[in-house]
Amino acid sequence: MRTLRAVRGPRGALAALSALSVLALSACAGPTTADVRQRRGGDGPSVPYGATKEQYRAAFADLPPLRLNTQSPSPKGSPSGKNVEDYLKAITDWSGGKITFEVAYANAIAPPAEIDDALLDGRLDLGQILPIYEPSEYPASAALVKSSFVSNQAPLAGTLQSNAWPNEVAFRNPEIRAEYKRRGIVPIVPQYDSGANALFCREPRRDMAGLKGMVSAAGGQAQAAEIESLGGSAVTVPYTELFEGLQRGTVDCSVSSLTVGVLGGFIPSAPHITVDPAAGLALAPGGMAISQDAWNGLPKAARQLMWDRLDIFLASNIRDKIWPNIVKAVTIAKKSGGSVQPLAPDARAAIARANAGLLRDLRRDKTFADPEAFVRDVQGTSGAWLKTARGFSPAGDVAYADFDRWYKPGKVDLNAYVNTLYKQVFLPHRPS
């Protein structure tokens, strides 16, 4: 993959200065982040799974107030950050105001590639991490991301599937657990995404003849291999420069989710969207994690509440972010003279061959003691979750080109899906 500009930003003195600024602000009201990290946690009352809000508030009644530093990847009120905002609001509400958050918006404290460092040095207690940006430090998590193309790419069942199975695999995989522990991080949601990735292009490109020679922005080795299988060249372009790159023609296309397309504002410049339910493009998902030091300082009820209210985060990520942004992306593309179509058969076959090669690589990945077992787990767990997800899709599935007309808020009831996901994947790891 060719690189136009490095993603990683400056560290060192700037990080230290930012950490001191955050701690100074925290000292103005309530316990500081340092207080949370230095206290002995795990004490206090335990709250059973399924407890009511009143039961939780009663458990917090005699506990000291706590404030945690965090950030949202989006501006305040943005749909892309609503999952984070709803989650934090629920924790504050259910704790009776005993847990509050100092929130910096639009990644104001640490850029994506440095969030794990900010968790370690105290600038952040809770954050959305992106292991794909640091594959050498998170090789097992990066391998899980690399395998993300196995998910179905359809907007309903595919979205439900892709936000479930990676978490189940991550929680039981010893190499993934070990690398988080080694980095001093506790994963709360190991992996969540913004929906299937599509190819946004300035001109229509669906078949091998049209795709040959394109220069496309892509993230990670898996996406680069997929672009190259189509006869194109993959380059790394920072998210903040995608709009300018597509507008000026520095790149012809970008591999991005429809959510990123909406938020990046580049769909009018690249309105020809190709997304194929049967030909998966690898994702660039993130995860939510808390510093081990901060986690150690939380009382038992706080840990349990942060775990139990993941139902809010998981539902909001799909209901308030992914699906509404699919509607917006399709609407903008059509109004901009573009279209939303699947790949032509020859391009779909090329992607399938590239993905088969990626799986072969994963079967030889020495990151894992048993890489064959890792791949079997990925394939088996993703397949099982696709069957489960289809049971929650009332209309089977809908084509992306029709999603803007079909979908309405509340049309899909996510409660049963989230309850199943929580009980099967997250509940076994609930703090006790």
Euclidean distance between CA atoms 139 and 137, whole angstroms: 6
Name the residue type at position 145: V
Instruction: Look at residue 113 in the predicted model and tell me its pLDDT.
Output: 87
Contacts of 251 (CB under 8 A, 6+ apart): 215, 216, 217, 235, 237, 242, 245
Euclidean distance between CA atoms 95 and 301, whole angstroms: 9
The closest alpha carbon to 285, from 165, 370, 174, 178, belongs to: 165
Q: What are the backbone angles phi and psi of residue 298, rounded to the nearest 5°?
A: -85, 140
Instruction: Look at residue 412 in the predicted model and tell me its pLDDT.
Output: 84
CA-based diameter of the chain, in Å? Answer: 68
Tokens read off for 45:
């009352």
The closest alpha carbon to 129, from 179, 196, 79, belongs to: 179
Tens of pLDDT, residues 133-161: 899 999 999 999 999 999 999 999 999 99
Instruction: Look at residue 176 in the predicted model and tell me its pLDDT.
Output: 98
Instruction: Look at residue 27 in the predicted model and tell me its pLDDT.
Output: 38
The closest alpha carbon to 223, from 318, 309, 351, belongs to: 351
Q: What are the backbone angles phi and psi of residue 415, rounded to the nearest 5°?
A: -60, -45
Euclidean distance between CA atoms 162 and 386, whole angstroms: 8
Name the residue type at position 129: I
The closest alpha carbon to 347, from 152, 205, 202, belongs to: 205
Instruction: Look at residue 30 in the predicted model and tell me its pLDDT.
Output: 53
| Pairing status of strand 126-129 against strand 197-201 | unpaired
Instruction: Look at residue 13 in the predicted model and tell me its pLDDT.
Output: 37
Residue 68, helix vs strand vs coil: strand
Euclidean distance between CA atoms 161 and 168, whole angstroms: 11
Instruction: Look at residue 237 in the predicted model and tell me its pLDDT.
Output: 87
The closest alpha carbon to 355, from 173, 171, 223, belongs to: 223
Helix, strand and coil content of the chain, in percent to the nearest 5, comes to: 50, 15, 35
In which element (H, E) is residue 69 found? strand 66-71
Residues of the chain with pLDDT under 70: 1-34, 37-41, 394-396
C-beta neighbour count of 351 within 10 angstroms: 21
Tens of pLDDT, residues 61-97: 999 999 999 999 889 998 888 999 999 999 999 999 9
Residue 196 DSSP class: -
Instruction: Look at residue 238 in the predicted model and tell me its pLDDT.
Output: 76
Instruction: Look at residue 410 in the predicted model and tell me its pLDDT.
Output: 83
The closest alpha carbon to 185, from 174, 176, 173, belongs to: 176
Q: Is the pTM here over 0.85, yes or no?
A: yes
